[in-house]
Amino acid sequence: MKIAIIGTGYVGLTTAVVLSYLHHDVAAVDKDESKLALLHAGKSPIHEPGIQNLLEDVWHTIRFTPSVAEVVPDAELILIAVGTPPKKNGEADTRHVEQAAREVAQVCLPNKHYTLVVKSTVPIGTNQRVAEVVENVFSERGIRGNVSVASNPEFLQEGLALQGAFYPDRIVVGANSEAAIDTLRRLYKPILEQTFDPPSEFPRPPSYHLPPMMTTDPNSAEMIKYAANTFLALKISFINEIAGLCEAVDADVTEVARGIGLDARIGHRFLRAGLGWGGSCYPKDTAALLGVAAQSGYEMPITEAARAINFRQRERIVEKLRDVLHTLEGKTVGILGLAFKPNTDDIREAPALDIIRELLAEGAIVRAHDPIAIANARQALREKVNTNNGLHFTEDVYELPYDADALVLVTEWDLYHRLELRRLAKQMKTPNLIDGRNVYLPEEARAAGFHYIGVGRT
């Protein structure tokens, strides 16, 4: 199938590469010249495990271009995967989505049928607006167009994007037109029937079952995306709330999570207590959902509480540091991990940034390490980098503890699971370890010489 994808961010590029691997004829459009330069040189502009190799595999068939006009007229299906950044009030800004729809409609051929798919995460009602935008452009052009708009929310997780694209739990399609549903069913046929040869890096999990393609109306599809992210976000906030109480009553949240997770209705996943959620999705999408609710005059206290608990986790880690160090002024704190989660260089809404800002504000000296996100963190904290000589980044994790008063594990990179704890503890002025992700066994850390403090653990 001939496909045009607008936007080559995490969602757009992953989708482009995977659909190309599934033998679709894919052209991806992006206006960002620096991204295009990288893509034209065969380099992925995003850090995502496996994407570089897969991009090289499909290199001879996939196309990247800045021009909507070059690729849309010929396409059967057009996928919009542009950003919907938050506005000041938290609502999602759909300007780029509507602009993309306008540009597409300007070059659609009269009478040819197209399926226009919105993959970006958008507030409820956006698909309807996109259909109106398209119709308005057709009437401006004085032509009769034939475009079916469909919502097809994306559920990929950064760091696991390709695994999720090849082996999704489900595919959701919201459309009023049978033609659009049929096109999407043909698009995803190799995934729905698992008829493709798995790439060597992404073998089919033995327990994987064929995914259902659920069809519904566009508004419900848009709501499914927000409700899914909000539910996962509140599951994490719930266990973090329990973690706080565990600390107060001398219980261990990792044991509690194990115990409740064994109930199949609850399940083990997304019950890791710690520094909570960051990234471009949960913070933005929970805020956007509250924005949608506010517009409807509807209150969502559970979602509001989930957000408050999440951001309180960051403050609680700094409180723990204050407790053990008595004052942060002049103390040296090593930060293990800057990315919002492992296997990505994404630092958007990362807990590390808030923690570092607070430590610097209180006069601490901060030394930070991350396997790949230092450049992005340096950029995000540039005002501090330029004005505060207490902030240092290091690429050698064993430089972190030197003369430090405390280490804080913020991101649970694999590398940190394998650290020589004894060696770290020995170099420190006072060997305090605040484990913000409960990565270490308390007894192991203590045996290595650390004063160990986790989240929700005795």
Residues within the interface to ligand UGA (CB under 6 A): 121, 154-158, 229, 232, 236, 270-272, 274, 276-279, 281-282, 285, 340-341
Q: How far is the CB of 73 from ligand UGA (least distance, A)?
A: 30
In this complex, which beta carbon is closest to ligand UGA, that of residue 276 or of residue 371?
276
* Residue in the block written with tokens 């800002």: 357
- Check if 108 is active-site: no
For 73, the enclosing helix (H) or strand (E) is none
Catalytic annotation, pick one of 11, 13, 281, 391: 281
| d(C-alpha 371, C-alpha 44), whole Å | 18
In this complex, which beta carbon is closest to ligand UGA, that of residue 313 or of residue 332?
313
Among 64, 57, 74, 67, smallest CA distance to 13 is for 64
292 and 226 Cβ atoms separated by less than 8 Å? yes
In this complex, which beta carbon is closest to ligand UGA, that of residue 307 or of residue 331?
307
Q: How far is the CB of 375 from ligand UGA (least distance, A)?
A: 19
329 and 401 Cβ atoms separated by less than 8 Å? no
What's the token pair of residue 391?
Answer: 């902030």
Q: How far is the CB of 425 from ligand UGA (least distance, A)?
A: 25
| d(C-alpha 218, C-alpha 124), whole Å | 8
In this complex, which beta carbon is closest to ligand UGA, that of residue 27 or of residue 162?
162
Q: How far is the CB of 64 from ligand UGA (least distance, A)?
A: 22
The b/e string for 336-351 (b: 16+ C-beta within 10 A; e otherwise) is bbbbbbbbbbbbbbbb
In this complex, which beta carbon is closest to ligand UGA, that of residue 202 or of residue 277?
277
What's 176's DSSP letter?
Answer: S
128 burial type by CB count under 10 A (0-12 exposed, 13-18 middle, 19+ buried): middle
Q: How far is the CB of 433 from ligand UGA (least distance, A)?
A: 19
Q: Can you say whether the dihedral through the CA atoms of 123, 129, 131, 133 is positive or negative? A: negative
21 and 195 Cβ atoms separated by less than 8 Å? no
Instruction: Give the active site residues.
Output: 281
